[in-house]
Structure 1
Amino acid sequence: MKKKITFLVMMMTLVAIISGCNQVNQPVTPESKGIWNEYFVYPLSQVITYFAELFGNNYGLSIVVVTLIIRCALLPLMIKQTRSTKAMQALQPEMVKLREKYSSKDQATQQKLQQEMMQLYKTHGVNPLSGCLPIFIQMPVLFAFYHAIMRTAEIKHHSFLWFDLGHPDPFYILPVVAGITTFIQQKIAMTGTAQNPQMAMMLWLMPIMIVIFAIKFPAALSLYWVVGNIFSIAQTYFIKGPDLKQAKAGGASK
C-alpha cells in the first residue's frame, strides 16, 4: 500500500510539473490571486529575492541557500518517513508469512488477511500510512519553491557561474549532474528495502525525465534540483548509515 502511494505521489509530481507549465510562464507578483500564489509561491519568491539582495543581487547563490534552508526545515519529516519505512521493513518477514497463509484470492480470505495485517501493525505499534504523510507535506512546499524559482522575474536576468539563470545550461552540465544525483539519491534511498517493479522502474525513469526537463527548462531550476539532490544524498546517507554498511557488507560477502 505504502509503495503504491509513494509511486503515485512521484508520478503526480511529474504530471503537476508538466501541467503547470502554463502558469509557470506567468510572473508571480503581489497582485497574483489564489491561495496557491498568495500563501505559497509569492512568499517563497520574496525569500529568494531577500537573500539575493543580501548577497549583492546574486540570485544563483540565493537559490542555493534557500534550497538548503527548505531542505533543513523538512529534515524532521524525512527522518520520520525513514523510521517508518524501517519499521515496515522489519515486519516484512511476518507479512510474507501471512500472505502465504492466506494466499487464496477469494473475498473472505483476503478480508481475513487484511485483519491479520492490521493486527500485526497494532501489535508492533506501526502505522502503515505514517510514512506517507511526510511525502504529502513535502511535495506542496517543494513544488511551490519550484514555481517561485520559475516565476520570479528577476531571476531570468541574472547569471551564476557559467550559465544564465533564465536560460538552459548551454553545456548541459547541470542537466547531466541533476540526472546523476537523482539516480544516486534514489539508489541510496532504496538500499536495504524490498523493491517492486514500479520502484525499480522509477529508479531509471526519474533521472531520465529530470535530464529531459533540465535540458529544456531554465538553468535556475536545474541548479535547484542539483543542490536539493546533493543535500538529499548526504541526508539519506547519514540517516540510513547502518543499513548502507550492512548492505555493503552483504554484497562483499557474496
Structure 2
Amino acid sequence: MDNQRNVIIAIALSFLLLVGWTSAMDYFYPQPEQALVEDRADTPAEQAAITDGTSATTRHTRTGGLVDPVLQAQEKADLKTALASPDRIRIDAPRVAGSINLRGGMIDDIVLKDHMEGTGDDSEPVRLFSPNGTPAQQFAQFGYLINGARIADDVVWQADGRVLTQDTPVTLTHDLGNGTKATIRYSIDQDYMFTVEQSVANTGANPAVVQPYGYVNRTSRTASEDLWIAHSGPMGVFADAADYDIDYDDIDESGSITPSGRASWSGFTDIYWLAVLVPQDGSAPDTTFRALGNEIYRADMIYDAVTLPAGQALTTTSRLYAGAKESVVLDRYEDAGLQKFGLAIDWGWFRWFEKPFLWLLRNIYELVGNFGIAIMILTLIIRGAMFPIAQKGFASMAEMKAIQPKMKAIQEKHKDDKQKQQQEIMELYKREKVNPVSGCLPMLLQIPVFFALYKVLVLGIEMRHREFLWIKDLAAPDPANLANALSLVGIQVPQFLMIVFGIGVLAVLLGFTMWLTFKLNPSQLDPMQQQIFNIMPWILMFVMAPFAAGLLLYWVTSNVLTLAQQKYLYSKHPQLRASIEEEKAKKAAEAAKAG
C-alpha cells in the first residue's frame, strides 16, 4: 500500500512538473523565434506601453531583435529614411558593413557580413546598430566637453574620405570656434574592432578645458533573453573581474549604476552579439550605465577633464567592439592585451573544459563539414575517454552483486541493531575490497561534462544556423514536431498545449533510448525507485524537448553508445547479467503472485 501511494505521489509530482514546465521555460530558456508582443492590455498604462513599446509588454527571443510586427515595419521604414541621407560615410570592412552618420559623427549603422538573420536563402545580414530614434536603435558616439559644453548632436562633421575600410581610415573634423578644432579618426581591423582617435587642438589665445567621452546607446527591446545560463544586458570587466550581475531592471530602479574598479571594457551584450567600449591604455575613465527612459540605456565612458594650454593638442585613443561573440576572435584580442575579453561569453564555472570542448568541436567540424556529425563524433570521443571509468564502475557493480548474499545475511542477523549492521557491512566491504560508490562515479562525472557541453551548444555562435538532416539550426529546438506540422495547414497550437505538441523527433528518441538503457540496468531493490526509473525517461522527453537540438543530438548519441557499452560490459561479466535476469524473473513472479 505504501509503495502504491508513493508511486501515485511520484506520478502527481511528475504531472505538476510537466504542467509547470512551459512557464519555467519562459523564464529560464529561450523563447521561440516567432514570439510576439502580447496584444492584451488591461489598463491605460499597459495600452500606452504597447503603443510606445515600453518594457511592460516587450517579449524577447533567444537571439534578440524586434518581435512586434508593428515595430519591425516601423524599423524598416525608418531605416530607409535615415540611411538615405547624404551625410553618411560608408563602412566596408572585411566583416562589417554600414555607415557613419556625419551628423553627430555617430557610428549608427552596422551589419555583420558573416552572420544572417535567418536560415533562408533570402535572409539579410544581422543588423547590430540602427540610427538614433529607430525602434531598434543602437549606436556609438565619441565626442568632447569643451569648457563644460557638449558638441551638439546636430553638428555636421567634415570627412576626408567617403569609405571607411580596413586599409583606409576616415577622419572627421569640426571647427568649434574660439581657436579650437576637433577631429575624430576612425579605423577598423579585419574583424569587429574600431579604433577611435579623438583630438582637440587649441590654437586660440586662452586655455581650454577638454573632456573626451564615448558611449554606446541602445534599446532593450532588441535584447536577447537574459538566461540563468547566459547573461544578456550591461556588462564589462571592472577591477579585473567580469561583471554579469547588472541587468536592465537594475538600471531602471537605480537610474544609473557605476561599477567599482577600473573598467577594462564595458557596454552591452546579447547571447551572440557585443557592443562595448575599450578605454585608452593606462587610463581610468568614469564608467556608468544609465537608464534614459522608454527602454533606452547608455554605457558611458568619460575621461578626466584636462586643461589644454594655448598652442597645445590633446589626443585620446579609445576602441569600440561591435560584432559577434566569436570565441576565437575574442580570445585573440585578449591575447593581444585586452583584459579578460574572452569572458564576454558567459562561460561560467566550467569554462576550463567548455572552451576545449568548443575547440574540439570546431576542429572536428573542419574535418567533416557538418556540425551534427561533429557533435556525434565529439560524443564518441567523450564516451571513449570515460570508458575506463565506466568499466571500473561496472566491475564494482559486479562485485557488489557477488556479495549481496553476505550483505543480506548481515542485515538479517543484525536487523534490530542498525549500528552493528552498518559496521559489519563496512567490514565486509573492506574484506572483499569493494567500493560501494565507485559504480556511481561515471554518472557523477557526466554531470559537469553534460552541463559544459550544454553551455557550448547554447552559447557558441559556431552552432548558430548549423544544419543537420531536417534541422536548420542546431542551436534552436527541434522543428520536427506536431505543432509545426499543424501550422503548415493553418492550425495554430495554443501555448499551453506545446508541452505535448512541441515534442520533436529527437526528444522521442531521447526518451526511448534512455528507457532502453534503464531496462538494461539492474532492477532497483526498492519498488518505488524502480517505478521512478520506469517513468523518468518519458518525463525527460517532455522536459528536454524545448532545448537546443544539438544538445538532444548529443544525448541521444550518448544513450546509443551507452547501450553498446552495456552490451559489451555484460559480455565481460556474464555472471552479472545472469544475476540481473534471475532477479527480474523473481520480482516478476512475486508481482504476479501478489496480483
What is the TM-score with the length of structure 1 in the denominator? 0.79
Higher mean displacement: 123-132 or 45-54:
123-132
Distance in 2 (CA, whole Å) between partners of 1:240 and 1:183 is 18
- Do the aligned partners of 2:347 and 2:455 also contact (CA within 8 Å) in 1? no
CA shift for structure 1 position 234:
0.5
Match of 2:374 among 29, 46, 62: 62
CA shift for structure 1 position 185:
0.7
> Compared with structure 1, are the counterparts of its residues 115 and 74 closer, same or farther at alpha carbon in structure 2 (3 Å cutoff)?
same
- Do the aligned partners of 1:214 and 1:221 also contact (CA within 8 Å) in 2? no
Higher mean displacement: 69-78 or 117-126:
117-126
Q: Hey, what does 2:365 align to over in structure 1?
A: 52
Query: Is residue 430 of structure 2 the alignment partner of residue 98 of structure 1?
Result: no
CA shift for structure 1 position 71:
0.4
> Compared with structure 1, are the counterparts of its residues 76 and 199 closer, same or farther at alpha carbon in structure 2 (3 Å cutoff)?
farther
Q: Hey, what does 2:384 align to over in structure 1?
A: 72
Query: Is residue 433 of structure 2 the alignment partner of residue 125 of structure 1?
Result: yes
Task: Name the SS for the 1:170 alignment partner.
Answer: coil
CA shift for structure 1 position 230:
0.2
Distance in 2 (CA, whole Å) between partners of 1:225 and 1:73 is 16
Which whole-Å deviations, capped at 9, do the CAs of 1:64-118 have from their partners, x for residues lacking one? Answer: 10000000100000011111111111111111111111111xxxx2221121111
> Compared with structure 1, are the counterparts of its residues 50 and 174 closer, same or farther at alpha carbon in structure 2 (3 Å cutoff)?
same
Q: Hey, what does 2:75 align to over in structure 1?
A: none
Which whole-Å deviations, capped at 9, do the CAs of 1:11-54 have from their partners, x for residues lacking one? Answer: xxxxxxx9985344446844126772430212211211111122
Of Structure 1 and Structure 2, the greater strand share is in 2
- Do the aligned partners of 1:89 and 1:194 also contact (CA within 8 Å) in 2? no
Query: Is residue 514 of structure 2 the alignment partner of residue 206 of structure 1?
Result: no
Of Structure 1 and Structure 2, the greater helix share is in 1
Match of 1:176 among 471, 486, 508: 508
Distance in 1 (CA, whole Å) between partners of 2:427 and 2:579 is 30
Distance in 2 (CA, whole Å) between partners of 1:65 and 1:71 is 10
> Compared with structure 1, are the counterparts of its residues 225 and 38 closer, same or farther at alpha carbon in structure 2 (3 Å cutoff)?
closer
- Do the aligned partners of 1:177 and 1:226 also contact (CA within 8 Å) in 2? yes
**Amino acid of the residue matched to residue 216 of structure 1?**
P
Distance in 1 (CA, whole Å) between partners of 2:454 and 2:354 is 9
> Which is greater in Rg?
2
**Amino acid of the residue matched to residue 414 of structure 2?**
Y
Distance in 1 (CA, whole Å) between partners of 2:365 and 2:532 is 35
CA shift for structure 1 position 175:
0.8
The structure showing larger relative contact order (alpha-carbon pairs under 8 Å, at least 6 residues apart) is: 1
Higher mean displacement: 85-94 or 124-133:
124-133
CA shift for structure 1 position 189:
2.0
Task: Name the SS for the 2:439 alignment partner.
Answer: coil
**Amino acid of the residue matched to residue 381 of structure 2?**
I
Which whole-Å deviations, capped at 9, do the CAs of 1:180-228 have from their partners, x for residues lacking one? Answer: 00010111122xx553235313423431232113321121111111100
Q: Hey, what does 2:518 align to over in structure 1?
A: 186
CA shift for structure 1 position 129:
2.5
- TM-align CA RMSD: 2.6
- Do the aligned partners of 1:174 and 1:214 also contact (CA within 8 Å) in 2? no
Q: Hey, what does 1:38 align to over in structure 2?
A: 351
Q: Hey, what does 2:460 align to over in structure 1?
A: 152
Q: Hey, what does 1:3 align to over in structure 2?
A: none
Q: Hey, what does 2:527 align to over in structure 1?
A: 197
Which whole-Å deviations, capped at 9, do the CAs of 1:120-168 have from their partners, x for residues lacking one? Answer: 1122111223333343333222321222222212212111011121222
Distance in 1 (CA, whole Å) between partners of 2:425 and 2:557 is 40
Higher mean displacement: 23-32 or 198-207:
23-32
Distance in 2 (CA, whole Å) between partners of 1:168 and 1:137 is 26
- Do the aligned partners of 2:351 and 2:452 also contact (CA within 8 Å) in 1? no
Match of 2:399 among 83, 87, 110: 87
**Amino acid of the residue matched to residue 441 of structure 2?**
L
Distance in 1 (CA, whole Å) between partners of 2:506 and 2:407 is 42
Distance in 2 (CA, whole Å) between partners of 1:117 and 1:50 is 50
Alignment of structure 1 residues 9-28 onto 2, 5 Å = 22-25=227-230, 26=271
CA shift for structure 1 position 245:
5.6
**Amino acid of the residue matched to residue 49 of structure 1?**
R
Query: Is residue 557 of structure 2 the alignment partner of residue 227 of structure 1?
Result: yes
Q: Hey, what does 1:5 align to over in structure 2?
A: none
**Amino acid of the residue matched to residue 507 of structure 2?**
P
Higher mean displacement: 166-175 or 193-202:
193-202
Q: Which runs of 5+ in 1 are unaligned?
A: 1-17
Distance in 1 (CA, whole Å) between partners of 2:28 and 2:402 is 39
Distance in 1 (CA, whole Å) between partners of 2:479 and 2:403 is 49
**Amino acid of the residue matched to residue 542 of structure 2?**
I
**Amino acid of the residue matched to residue 567 of structure 2?**
Y
Task: Name the SS for the 1:162 alignment partner.
Answer: coil
- Do the aligned partners of 1:64 and 1:223 also contact (CA within 8 Å) in 2? yes
